[in-house]
Each structure stands twice: as structure tokens, then as C-alpha cells.
Amino acid sequence: MSLLSIEGLTVALPKGGDRPHALRDVTLELNENEILCVVGESGSGKSMTASAVMGLLPEGVLAESGRILFEGRDLLVLPEPELRKLRGARLGMVFQEPMTALNPLRTIGSQIAEMFRVHTQLSAHERDARVLALLEQVRIPDPAAAAKAFPHELSGGQRQRAMIAMALALEPKLLICDEPTTALDVTTQAQILELIRDLQRRTGTAVLFITHDFGVVADIADRVAVMRHGEVVEQGPAAEVLNHPRHPYTRALVAAVPPLTPPAAQPLGGETVLRIEHLTKTYRKAGLFGRNRRVTHAVRDVTLSLPRGGTLGIVGESGSGKSTLARCLVRLLDPEAGSIHIDGQDRLALTKTELRRDARRIQMVFQDPYASLNPRRKVGELVAQGPMVHGTPRAEAMAQARELFELVGLDPRGLDRFPHEFSGGQRQRIGLARALAMKPEVLVADEPVSALDVSVQAQVLKLLAELRTRLGLSMVFITHDLRVAAQLCDRIAVMRQGEVVEEGATAEIFANPRHEYTRALFAAVPGQGWTPPVAFGAEEMA
Amino acid sequence: MALLQRYLRSPAAVIGLVLLLLVIAMAISAPWVFPRDPLSLAGRPLQWPGANPNFWLGTDNTGRNIAAQIFHGARVSLLIGLVATAISIGIGIVVGALAGFYGGWVDDVLMRITEAFQTLPNFILLLVLVAVFGSDIQTVTIAIGLVSWPPSARLTRAEFMSLRSREFVQACRVLGMRDARIIFREILPNALPPVIVYASVIMAVAILLESSLAFLNLSDPNVPSWGNLIGAGRGVLRVQWYVSAIPGVAILLTVLAVSLVGQGLNDALNPRLKSR
């Protein structure tokens, strides 16, 4: 008999939602000593499945029919006190964002010890010993210090390790991981995945692993279930689903994963459109009388150049200075040393007024499709605004906006709508249209696809690649994702702690990374051993 | 339209709106219902309400018609409320927007000034202003506006501080927009809803402040305001209490109506907060 079996689970959403059911007739099985990956895009119901198992469904959301059998008992009809005895002790959970899942006012050690206080009769002394042993098990450096630390004093990866230690404290039979590595950097993600896999093998725990990333699935799954709109569309052994996907949705998802091999390089002229030389930006935190004074070198002596019509990828983890560099390029931030030349014009020598008048040379696409559009303006106006500020008559600017809407693949009839009526992918297209309306010579894109679902991400990448050839766009593309960089960039610069550690043609860097940090980044990309069986972008969602 | 629907869903908000509309109707109809000067002698002083069919709310201690004063007073109170609120919100928005958008020394200077105003009890400050500049109705209204702007400045500043770092503001800068345009055309519409809701509080307070001044005989004696009537009734409070009570009830209902409308607007503008 399997450890956990979900049978025909249907969960109703409150009336007035976009669909009547969060989950429909979901049937899943999880055996002991097995990792089941539940994969899906946002709104697929994958997290709702985890919440249903833990008995943590949001208010107003009720399980209508079906059963969740855990060790032969139906969790849906179990009274709350019985359920409480199971949670923590037999069912562990690791959340996506370790900073909000931990109590900021209590030390890591006391939060882990609480598991023992609630569920066991151990003495304080025994509890402390167990906490230390657990922290050692999850390989936190200096466990004794970590136990006394508060959550904000640890790094993201260490916090997630502490969360895993807490979830594993009472050796649960079932561990639920809800996107545990999504908020982490790629090198940290690789470590956490290895840790989960390793602990699972040693303890024989069953793991229900929720993720949106097929690379992660390829790395750790024994079996895979693919969800869409609250239904399981395909499930089976990992090798089977990954290499021979049958359902069209699964095939489309697999086709949306960019492969790690860059496509053939496009020919580029020798002319340089953007030249960055010795650019330096530091953040200073002033402290009273010199105490706590901190200087952060966000960008340190960066020299790069972008050939006309080419795409320069800037790859790095959080805190590497790649976003600061992007903001310096468009002068949202003022670097204190170095120079930026576009077409021979020194951008840093311009006064504020000149800069405003000459804004069209370099434009930017932002990361967050929800925050980057003014919610109180119609999207047509948002796109037409730039040219209008610079003196284009309204009628002409609106006609231009209409053309741009078609160019980026949106229905021009949507010009009169407000941003909230569009999906994330559509909004990112609007942001792109707004930047293109200025006819920029250089387009800076700051993680333009990282907030999007994988299938939408593939579409936007395709659009960017298309526009690049059609308009001869020169682009600086900021990303943390090497797979994305491989598909779009002609040249890649790898940044770490404000410095460019390696720079070169994409194919060269992918074939032969020279710097050790670049090699570490490549080693951490999830799902390297797996080549998607469906060509990138070959099949799309119905 | 969705906003109106959400607004009408709350019974308290509907009651507030009806009361407010009634007061507005009184103010508008005053010259037709009571064409005579409401401050002129109308009959024998201190007639109880209902005692004389000509004066259904009675007469005050100088023989003026109380009903006429209530109707004409509605105009004065609403006018003072609206104008003072406009002044106060106007100053508040400009100060708050500049402080919140620019930060740094601009913020420091503007906020110290705001704090200087806030540390003084606003009624005392109002008394000083009236004592110095006189007590005709324009001066009183402007003075009320001048003493009640700091909270709206703080509110606007807080909104601007959270909005200015949003990506859409950065996008506007990259497009080459001027600061003034970014502040007033892009950010301000997003920052307004809580300020508009707060305006109802300011309006209620403005009406009360004017009444308090009038009660101390420091408001303009040549206009038929509710506060003046309460002040007049003060001398006969123990026997003919209705002279003060009737305008008191009128003030109570008007302030209540304005507050309920503000609360209803708040719930309608932030539907998610309500359901929690």
C-alpha cells in the first residue's frame, strides 16, 4: 500500500472566482522512499494540492469530494486535534520563502526546538543536543552559531537549510516541499536539491516536491505528475515523462525549456554601438561617528562593449551588481567613475536636461510586469506617452502605438484597456512596446522573463529574438538564467560581486568556461543531464 | 460603476449619503424656503418648538427664527467645510508629494515644518490666527485650512515613498519625463484614494472647528452659522436648552454623514480590506 494516496480530490473555490474548482478529480500516489514531483505553471493547483494534504486550505476553500489517505487514514475527515498530532511529527513541510516562513523574533535554534517541545517529552538539554545534530545534518556551517542566530543573520540558503532541519526534526514519513528553491540563487539551489535528495535517501522519507522547473524535476524526481488548471494531465516515472511526454500540454511545457546549447551565432558587423569603460558604482551607508559604516561595491571597474545589432548577456546571481549596471546604463543611477558611450556620445557628460531630451537612445524593459505599468493609465497611452513627451502629436503617437501592439503580438483593440486586464506575459509585451516606441538604439532588458511562467517565457524570448533580427535591435540582456542567456545572447559577461569575471562569445563560454565561478554556475544549472526531447519552441500551448 | 455598486452595498454608507444629500438640499433650498434674512427679528424671543406654527423650531433669545438659521447655517457650514478641506488637502498634497518624492534634505525641511504645525494643538493655533487676522468668515475658513493640513501631508508623503521606487516610475524617468509630470500626472493619481478618504475627516473637523470658534463668540457674527446659534443659546442653556440643542443635532448629523460617506468610500476603494 502506498504511504499517501490522493483519490479523486476535488476542491471548490469560493463563488466569483475565475474557475469553479481549484482541483478537479486529482488522483496521486506516493510510496515510501520516493520523490514525486508535481509540476505545473501558476494557477495549476500544485500548491493547493500540498495545502490540502497539510490541511491548510485557505478560508472559504473546501474539499468537495475525494479522499486523502495517509497511512490508511483519511486526512479530510480527521478531527483537528488528530491532524495536529500528525503535522510536524509525521508530515513535514518546507515553504518557498524561508524568510517569511521563519519567525523573525526568535532564534533558529529555539524554533527548531519547538518541534520537540510540542510533540515530545524531551528535556531542554536533550532538545539542544538534537537541534545541533539536525543543523549538522543539513550541513549548515558552524551549527552552534546558527542555532543562536536570528533568521535575518543567515543567508537565504542557510535559512532554507534551517527550514529543512525543522521539517525533518521528528523524522516525518512524508515531507512536502513547496517550491523550496525558487527564491534561491542557482548555486544555492543546486546545494539544497542535493541536500534534499541525500537526506531522502538516508532516511527513506517520501517527498512530495512541488516545482515549476523541469530542470529541477530532471535532477531529483523518481516520478512526475504534471498539472494544469487543477487537473493532473499526465503522470508516470520520471524518465518516461521527461523523455517521452505524451500529453500535448506536457510536450509544450518541455518544449518551453530552453536547451543549454546556444544556437548558431548570427553574423555581426564590427561596429560598436555601446561602450562601457571602467564603470564604478558604490553604495555607501553612513553610520553615526563611523560606526556600522558600510561601502558596497555594486559595480567595480566594468568594461564591456556591445556590437550593433548584437545582444550582450549579463549573467550573475543576486547581489552580483547586474541590475545596478543596467540602471547605470539608463542613468537611473549615477555611477561615480568610468564612461558610457552610445554611438560616440558620452552619456555621463550629459546634464539632466540634455539627458531627458536625448532619452530615446537607450530604453529599458523592466523585470516585474505588474509594477512596471502605471495601473491608472490605459495601455495605449502608456505606449504613446514616450513619443508624446518628446513632442510627437497625440494622434500620431497613438497610431504608432497601434502598430507596435501588432509588432509585439497584441490585439490593437486592447489599447483602451487598463493594465490589470492583461496577463503577465501580455504586460511584458506592453512594456516592450513602450520601450520600442522611442526607437532606441540600445535596449536594456532587466530580467524581462524571470517573473513569467515557463511557457510564456518561451514566447517572449521568441518575440525578442524575432524583433532583434527584424529591427536590428542592439540589446543588453540581464538574466540569472544561463539557459535563457544561451538562447538569446551573442556575447555573455559573467558578473560576481560587482566585477565581470569572464566575458566572451556565447558559444565559446558555453563550450569552454575559463573562470572557476563560471564553471560553478554551469555546474549548478538544474537538469544538465537531460536534453528536452521536444525542440525549443517547437510546440506551443493550445 | 463597480465603485458605486460596492459603495451602495454598505447600509451605513447609504445612510451617510442620504443624510449628506439632505443637508445639501437644505443648503440649496434655504433662500426659497426662508427668503427673509435669517438674522433679522422674526417674533417674540424664546418660543418653544411647536408653540407657534410660524416657527416650527421655535425662536432664539433675540427672537430670530431657528429653522431659518438652521437652513442658512447649512450653507455656511458646508461652504466652510469644503473650502477649508480644499485648502488643507491642497497644501498637504504639495508638501507631502515633494517630501515623499525627493526625500533627502527636501524631505527633512518640509517634515520639520509639518511637525512644527503638528506639535501645536490646532485649536490654539486657530485662536491665534483669528485673534491676529480678525474673524470674518473668509479669514476663519482659510485659518481652519491652514491648521489642518499636516496629517494629509504625512499621508501623501507615505504613499509617495512607497510609489516612487516602483518600476513604472523608473520607466517614466527612462522615457525622459520631467519630475513635475511624474509627480502630478503619474504618481499622484495612484496616491490619491487614501487622501480623498481622509478629506472626509478633515471636512468633519473643519465644521467642528468653526462651531467651536462660534461657541466662543470668535467666529464671524454676521453669518448665520450653526456655531453662532449654539453660542447664542449658551446664556439660556438651563431652561431653553433647545436653542443650543437643535443646531447641535444638525452639526452631529452633518459630521456623522460626512464620516459615514468617507468610511463607505474607503471600503469601496479598498474592497479587499473589508472582507478580511
Which residues of chain B does A438 touch, with a Cβ-Cβ cutoff of 8 Å? 175
Task: Kindly determine whether residue B168 and residue A372, on different chains, have CB atoms separated by under 8 Å.
Answer: yes
Judged by a CB distance cut-off of 8 A, whether residue A399 touches chain B is: no
Minimum CA–CA partner of B192 in chain A: A376
Judging by DSSP bridges, how do beta strands A91-94 and A174-178 pair with one another? parallel
Task: Kindly determine whether residue B176 and residue A386, on different chains, have CB atoms separated by under 8 Å.
Answer: yes
Hey, which residues does A311 pair with through a beta bridge? A475
> What confidence score (pLDDT) does residue A36 get?
94
Task: Kindly determine whether residue B174 and residue A372, on different chains, have CB atoms separated by under 8 Å.
Answer: no
Judged by a CB distance cut-off of 8 A, whether residue A376 touches chain B is: yes
Q: Would you call A193 exposed, middle or buried from its count of C-beta atoms within 10 A (0-12, 13-18, 19+)?
A: buried
Judged by a CB distance cut-off of 8 A, whether residue A373 touches chain B is: yes
Q: For residue A314, give the H/E element and its range.
A: strand A311-315
Dump pLDDT digits (tens) for A326-339.
999 998 988 988 99
CA distance A30 to A118: 27
What is the architecture, at CATH level 2, of domain B2-22+72-275? Orthogonal Bundle (1.10)
pTM of the model: 0.83
> What confidence score (pLDDT) does residue A542 get?
57
Within its chain, how far is the Cα of B28 from the centroid? Answer: 18
Quick one: average pLDDT of B40-57?
75
User: A359 to chain B, minimum CA–CA distance in Å?
Assistant: 5
Minimum CA–CA partner of A360 in chain B: B175
Which residues of chain B does A389 touch, with a Cβ-Cβ cutoff of 8 Å? 175-177, 181
What φ, ψ does residue A492 adopt, rounded to 5°? -130, 135
Answer whether A337's CB lies under 8 Å from A280's CB: yes
Half-sphere exposure for B265 (CA within 13 Å, toward CB): 18
Q: Taking 90 as the threshold, does the pLDDT of residue A533 lie above it? A: no
* Cβ neighbour number for residue A69 with a 10 Å cutoff: 17
Max CA pair span of chain B? 74
Q: Taking 80 as the threshold, does the pLDDT of residue A202 lie above it? A: yes
Judged by a CB distance cut-off of 8 A, whether residue A371 touches chain B is: yes
Dump pLDDT digits (tens) for B167-190.
899 999 999 899 999 999 899 988
Task: Kindly determine whether residue A389 and residue B173, on different chains, have CB atoms separated by under 8 Å.
Answer: no
Mapped onto helix, strand or coil, the DSSP state of residue A389 is helix
DSSP secondary structure of A480-536: S-HHHHHHH-SEEEEEETTEEEEEEEHHHHHH---SHHHHHHHHHSTTTT---SS-T
Mutate to test the interface with A, among B5, B165, B168 (most CBs of A within 10 A): B168
* Cβ neighbour number for residue A247 with a 10 Å cutoff: 15
Q: Taking 80 as the threshold, does the pLDDT of residue A210 lie above it? A: yes
What φ, ψ does residue A276 adopt, rounded to 5°? -110, 130
Band of the pLDDT at A516, cuts 50, 70, 90? very high
CA distance B106 to A258: 49
Cα dihedral A376→A377→A378→A380 (10° resolution): -160
Judged by a CB distance cut-off of 8 A, whether residue A389 touches chain B is: yes
> What confidence score (pLDDT) does residue B109 get?
95
Hey, which residues does A444 pair with through a beta bridge? A364, A476
List the grid coordinates of A66: 475525494
Give percent of chain A with pLDDT exceeding 70.
Answer: 97
Judged by a CB distance cut-off of 8 A, whether residue A250 touches chain B is: no
Dump pLDDT digits (tens) for A106-154.
999 999 999 899 888 989 999 999 999 989 888 888 888 999 999 888 8
> What confidence score (pLDDT) does residue A414 get?
87
Mapped onto helix, strand or coil, the DSSP state of residue A237 is strand
Judged by a CB distance cut-off of 8 A, whether residue A352 touches chain B is: no
> What confidence score (pLDDT) does residue B182 get?
92
Minimum CA–CA partner of B276 in chain A: A59
Q: Would you call A470 exposed, middle or buried from its count of C-beta atoms within 10 A (0-12, 13-18, 19+)?
A: exposed
* Segment A146-152 long-range contacts (CB within 8 Å, at least 24 positions apart): A146/A108, A146/A109, A147/A107, A147/A108, A147/A109, A147/A112, A148/A107, A148/A108, A148/A109, A149/A107, A149/A108, A150/A104, A150/A105, A150/A106, A150/A107, A150/A108, A151/A98, A151/A99, A151/A102, A151/A103, A151/A104, A151/A108, A152/A99, A152/A104
Quick one: average pLDDT of B119-146?
89
Task: Kindly determine whether residue A355 and residue B173, on different chains, have CB atoms separated by under 8 Å.
Answer: no
Q: Would you call B40 exposed, middle or buried from its count of C-beta atoms within 10 A (0-12, 13-18, 19+)?
A: exposed
Complex-level ipTM: 0.81
Minimum CA–CA partner of A440 in chain B: B175
> What confidence score (pLDDT) does residue B2 get?
74
User: B189 to chain A, minimum CA–CA distance in Å?
Assistant: 7
> What confidence score (pLDDT) does residue A291 get?
60
> What confidence score (pLDDT) does residue B276 get?
40
List the grid coordinates of A201: 535517501
> What confidence score (pLDDT) does residue A288 get?
59
Quick one: average pLDDT of A17-21?
77
Task: Kindly determine whether residue A376 and residue B175, on different chains, have CB atoms separated by under 8 Å.
Answer: no
Specify whether the backbone of A21 is left (phi greater than 0), alpha (psi in -120 to 50) or beta. beta
Task: Kindly determine whether residue A356 and residue B174, on different chains, have CB atoms separated by under 8 Å.
Answer: no
Quick one: average pLDDT of B201-207?
88
| Dihedral angle sign, alpha carbons of residues A98, A101, A106, A110 | negative
List the grid coordinates of A420: 490589470
DSSP secondary structure of A52-83: HHHT-PPTT-EEEEEEEEETTEETTTS-HHHH
Which among A366, A367, A376 has CB closest to B189?
Answer: A376
* Segment A133-140 long-range contacts (CB within 8 Å, at least 24 positions apart): A134/A165, A134/A166, A134/A168, A134/A169, A135/A108, A135/A109, A135/A161, A135/A162, A135/A165, A137/A165, A137/A168, A137/A199, A138/A162, A138/A164, A138/A165, A138/A168, A138/A195, A138/A199, A139/A195, A140/A165
> What confidence score (pLDDT) does residue A541 get?
67
Task: Kindly determine whether residue B190 and residue A330, on different chains, have CB atoms separated by under 8 Å.
Answer: no
> What confidence score (pLDDT) does residue B275 get?
47
Residue of A308, A309, A359, A354 whose CA lies nearest to A329 = A359
Q: Taking 50 as the threshold, does the pLDDT of residue A27 lie above it? A: yes
Minimum CA–CA partner of A443 in chain B: B174
A366-375, B96-105, B109-118, B148-157: range with lowest mean pLDDT: A366-375
Judged by a CB distance cut-off of 8 A, whether residue A474 touches chain B is: no
CA distance B43 to B58: 10
Answer whether A19's CB lies under 8 Å from A46's CB: no
CA distance A413 to A524: 44
CA distance A266 to A466: 13
Band of the pLDDT at A391, cuts 50, 70, 90? confident
Mutate to test the interface with A, among B5, B173, B174, B181 (most CBs of A within 10 A): B174
Which among B166, B173, B176 has CB closest to A371?
Answer: B166
Give percent of chain B with pLDDT exceeding 90.
Answer: 31
Quick one: average pLDDT of B244-268?
88
User: B194 to chain A, minimum CA–CA distance in Å?
Assistant: 15
Dump pLDDT digits (tens) for B159-171.
999 998 888 999 9
CA distance A461 to A481: 12
Close Cβ partners of A539 (under 8 Å, ≥ 6 residues apart): A248, A251, A252, A255
User: B169 to chain A, minimum CA–CA distance in Å?
Assistant: 8
> What confidence score (pLDDT) does residue A289 get?
61
> What confidence score (pLDDT) does residue A318 get?
83
Band of the pLDDT at B274, cuts 50, 70, 90? very low
Which residues of chain B does A363 touch, with a Cβ-Cβ cutoff of 8 Å? 174-175
Q: What does the domain layout of chain B look like in residue ranges? A: 2-22+72-275
Close Cβ partners of B193 (under 8 Å, ≥ 6 residues apart): B269, B270
Q: Which domains does chain A have, with CATH numbers?
A: 4-90+173-255 (3.40.50.300), 106-169 (no CATH), 272-370+440-524 (3.40.50.300)
CA distance A446 to A246: 35
Judged by a CB distance cut-off of 8 A, whether residue A367 touches chain B is: yes
Answer whether A308's CB lies under 8 Å from A273's CB: yes
CA distance A109 to A89: 18
Residue of A176, A122, A202 whose CA lies nearest to A3 = A176
Quick one: average pLDDT of A278-305?
79
Q: What is the mean pLDDT of chain A?
A: 88
Task: Kindly determine whether residue A372 and residue B190, on different chains, have CB atoms separated by under 8 Å.
Answer: no
Which residues of chain A does B181 touch, with a Cβ-Cβ cutoff of 8 Å? 389
Minimum CA–CA partner of B165 in chain A: A371
Task: Kindly determine whether residue A358 and residue B176, on different chains, have CB atoms separated by under 8 Å.
Answer: yes
